[in-house]
Amino acid sequence: MAAAIALADEAGLGAMTMKAIAVRLGDYSPMALYRYVHNKEGLVDLMLDAATAEIPLPARPGGDWRSDLYGLAMDSRRMTHRHPWYAQLVHTRPPAGPHMMRRLEFMLTVLTGEGATVAAAMTYAALVDRHILGSGLQEAEEARLDRRYGLDDTAKLVAAIRALHGLAVADGGVPHLAGWLAQPTGFTADEQFALGLDFLLDGIARRLAKPAEE
Amino acid sequence: MAAAIALADEAGLGAMTMKAIAVRLGDYSPMALYRYVHNKEGLVDLMLDAATAEIPLPARPGGDWRSDLYGLAMDSRRMTHRHPWYAQLVHTRPPAGPHMMRRLEFMLTVLTGEGATVAAAMTYAALVDRHILGSGLQEAEEARLDRRYGLDDTAKLVAAIRALHGLAVADGGVPHLAGWLAQPTGFTADEQFALGLDFLLDGIARRLAKPAEE
DNA sequence: CGGGGAAAGTGTACGTCATATACGAATCGT
DNA sequence: ACGATTCGTATATGACGTACACTTTCCCCG
């Protein structure tokens, strides 16, 4: 499992073949792995839960629900940053790993501690996780494209953007987009993530404030 | 392309093989497709843009930015609901289809019309899209699991939840989750989507209100 | 109308994967 | 030291995407 994680970290999901994993473990045959894992899906399940286990989880909520959730989201994001494959794989398997459960339980505890029903807390947690995973997915895609085309430098990236820009200009009718592509500046990915997270937490806060909602 | 879309709609991405597409078009050979498409990725690009084209796009913004974005998000969601594969594929390809560009341009127009910079508008649009696609991805996963195990009835679903519940109880330490699994009620997917969308739009509204932000 | 060339479609072959099955080798407890 | 269990391999199969060379079909022009 560690070998599979290392492989996927370094070379992407596509490189994580049973053969490659076996070789990395010491020039074994691919079939040797099947002594320890039912099939590749089983291996993926292990990887997902192992990665989830890397997210530090306080033993119990601190006093402030908002910073509890904010911190958990940030730690989760850091993990998806270390393991870009996480966001890609998590949607391919039922979510039943023990560490995933404990993480969700933590969020539920924090939210119900503020008066939310469990049902509402599930929804809020789902919204926050959607944000985290969506962000992770986008960055994983960028990493993949980087790997595929020029990893060496930003030269090719610039060329790609220029090509896009050419398309946009040729299209006509997309002036804002064309303008932005000419000079693509703006929020960093981290700022964007924090902003979205704040929006969601603000919304949750407003709902927690009104008692006896539903 | 239409055949590929129909196949993916009906039987999932896994069934969308070049052979299956060719057969659906009239018992052709798989290789016949390569006269019209460079490779499968090219076909996927076409599918993505064709699906994006299904999202109705007003010629120009209406008066109310919020309902413009709300409507667009809802229409987009309806499309991802018709085409569950969309959310799965969109993250595997660079986002350069002309209809995608036009859709993004619409969002930028709406937001910059309210005083946002293009950079800020890009961020807001990304946040909303992340929500839409995350939601679509989750529902696609459910559809996939449904297809894979008992499509016939909810009996197997209940069994699966019961199994999860068993795990959760056995785990101990996850009381809220175990309780919810025993009686999984709460927001519908539509309610959850609308709630998250409102959170995001609220956040954007607050930022638009403050002039000269950054 | 008939011939020539482009367009359309096919057959075959290859490489990569995951994985089933059957077999051999190593190791460990007694 | 021996026998069983555990570990690893060899081989084969069936998807799949797709390169390449070939044949068929069709249409346009003289």
- In this structure, the answer to whether residues B110 and B174 fall within a common structural domain is no
Angle of helix A118-148 versus helix A189-209 axis, rounded to 10: 170
CB contact under 8 A, B101 and A177: yes
Model pLDDT, residue A3:
96
Q: Strand D: which of residues 82-101 in chain B lie with Cβ below 7 A?
A: none
Model pLDDT, residue B128:
98
- C1’ C19 / CA A27, Å: 19
Total residue length of chain A? 214
- In this structure, the answer to whether residues B104 and B35 fall within a common structural domain is yes
* Residue A94 with chain B: CB contacts under 8 Å: 145, 160
A214 within some domain: no
- C1’ C7 / CA B98, Å: 28
CB contact under 8 A, B138 and A91: yes
Closest residue in chain B to residue A194, using alpha carbons only:
B127
Task: List the single range of A157-161, B1-5, B8-12 with lowest mean pLDDT.
Answer: A157-161
- In this structure, the answer to whether residues B161 and B82 fall within a common structural domain is no
B10 within some domain: yes
Could you give the number of structural domains in chain A? 2
Model pLDDT, residue A213:
46
Q: How far from A64 is each of A35, A36, A55, A61, A131, CA to CA, in Å?
A: 47, 43, 19, 8, 21
Taking the C1' atom of every nucleotide in all shown strands and the CA of A26, the nearest one is D8
pLDDT exceeds 70 at position B150: no
Q: What is the pLDDT of residues A110-136, one digit of tens each?
A: 999 999 999 999 999 999 999 999 999
- Closest chain A C-alpha to B97 CA, distance in angstroms: 10
CB contact under 8 A, B199 and A198: no
Please tell me the distance from the alpha carbon of residue B54 to that of residue B76, in angstroms, as a whole number.
Answer: 9
User: Residue A54's domain spans which residues?
Assistant: 2-148+184-209
**Alpha helical stretches, state H, A25-97:** 40-53, 65-82, 85-89
Closest residue in chain B to residue A203, using alpha carbons only:
B199
**For the residues B79-104, what does the mean pLDDT come to?**
94
Model pLDDT, residue B213:
47
Q: How high is the mean pLDDT of chain B?
A: 91
A36 touches strand C (CB under 7 A): no
Model pLDDT, residue A153:
54
Higher local confidence (pLDDT), B210 or B16:
B16
Nearest to A101 among B171, B185, B191 (CB): B171
Percent of chain A with pLDDT over 70: 93
pLDDT exceeds 60 at position A151: no
pLDDT exceeds 90 at position B161: no
- Closest chain B C-alpha to A128 CA, distance in angstroms: 9
Nearest to A176 among B105, B179, B204 (CB): B105
Nearest to A127 among B119, B179, B196 (CB): B196
Please tell me the distance from the alpha carbon of residue B7 to that of residue B16, in angstroms, as a whole number.
Answer: 6
pLDDT exceeds 80 at position A167: no
- Closest chain B C-alpha to A207 CA, distance in angstroms: 10
pLDDT exceeds 80 at position A152: no
Measured in whole angstroms, how far is the alpha carbon of residue B44 from the centre of its chain?
Answer: 15
User: Torsions phi, psi of B57, nearest 5?
Assistant: -125, 115
- In this structure, the answer to whether residues A71 and A169 fall within a common structural domain is no
Which of A176, A181, A192, A201 to probe the B interface (max B CBs under 10 A)? A176
B68 within some domain: yes
Apex CA B48: angle with CA B140 and CA A140, to 5°? 70
pLDDT exceeds 80 at position A171: no
Percent of chain B with pLDDT over 70: 93
Q: How far from B52 is each of A54, A72, B45, CA to CA, in Å?
A: 37, 34, 11
Question: Measured on CA atoms in the order A15, A20, A22, A24, is the torsion positive or negative?
Answer: negative
pLDDT exceeds 50 at position B130: yes
Radius of gyration of chain B (CA): 21
Nucleotides in chain D with any atom closer than 7 Å to protein CB: 7-11, 15-21
CB contact under 8 A, A198 and B203: yes
B45 within some domain: yes
DSSP, collapsed to helix, strand or coil, labels residue B48 as helix
B214 within some domain: no
- In this structure, the answer to whether residues A15 and A40 fall within a common structural domain is yes
Q: How high is the mean pLDDT of chain A?
A: 91
- In this structure, the answer to whether residues A70 and A30 fall within a common structural domain is yes
pLDDT exceeds 70 at position B151: no
Q: What is the pLDDT of residues B48-81, one digit of tens each?
A: 999 999 999 999 998 899 999 999 999 999 999 9
- C1’ D16 / CA A113, Å: 51
Model pLDDT, residue B95:
83
- In this structure, the answer to whether residues A114 and A143 fall within a common structural domain is yes
**For the residues B144-170, what does the mean pLDDT come to?**
70
- ipTM computed for the complex: 0.92
* Residue B36 CB neighbours (<10 A): 10
**For the residues B148-174, what does the mean pLDDT come to?**
70
- In this structure, the answer to whether residues A125 and A179 fall within a common structural domain is no
- In this structure, the answer to whether residues B90 and B168 fall within a common structural domain is no
* Residue A141 with chain B: CB contacts under 8 Å: 91-92
CB contact under 8 A, B112 and A176: yes
**For the residues B99-112, what does the mean pLDDT come to?**
96
pLDDT exceeds 60 at position A214: no
- In this structure, the answer to whether residues B121 and B153 fall within a common structural domain is no
- In this structure, the answer to whether residues A177 and A193 fall within a common structural domain is no
Please tell me the distance from the alpha carbon of residue A161 to that of residue B76, in angstroms, as a whole number.
Answer: 25
- CATH at B109: 1.10.357.10
